[in-house]
Amino acid sequence: MNSCSLLFAVVGVSVAIPALAQQAPAADDIAGQVRLQGHPCDGAVSARKDIKYSWPDEPLWILQCANATYRVRLIPDMAARIEKLQ
């Protein structure tokens, strides 16, 4: 492999890693955080990002569980802010 090909491979990987880190968490992951903080969530049905109220580093999710609906703001390195909607 010549040095030009190696450079493109390294640049490609360094661009792909941040994109992977910003992928949306699965509904089960958000439900796990909700349960960890003491809220009941009997099976996550769906999670959708609320684009209007999300902040760059603190996304806001609407989590639909079988028994409740929550508004969940995920905050890095802190507990999530959770509000029961139904």
Rounded to whole angstroms, the Cα distance separating 13 from 26 reads 23
Sign, CA torsion 81/85/30/55:
negative
Rounded to whole angstroms, the Cα distance separating 31 from 66 reads 11
Q: Is 40 helix (H, G, I), strand (E, B) or coil?
A: coil
- Rounded to two decimals, what is the model's pTM? 0.70
pLDDT (tens, 9 = 90+) of the chain, 86 residues, equals 555 454 444 445 444 445 444 567 899 999 999 999 999 999 999 999 999 999 989 999 999 999 999 999 999 999 999 999 97
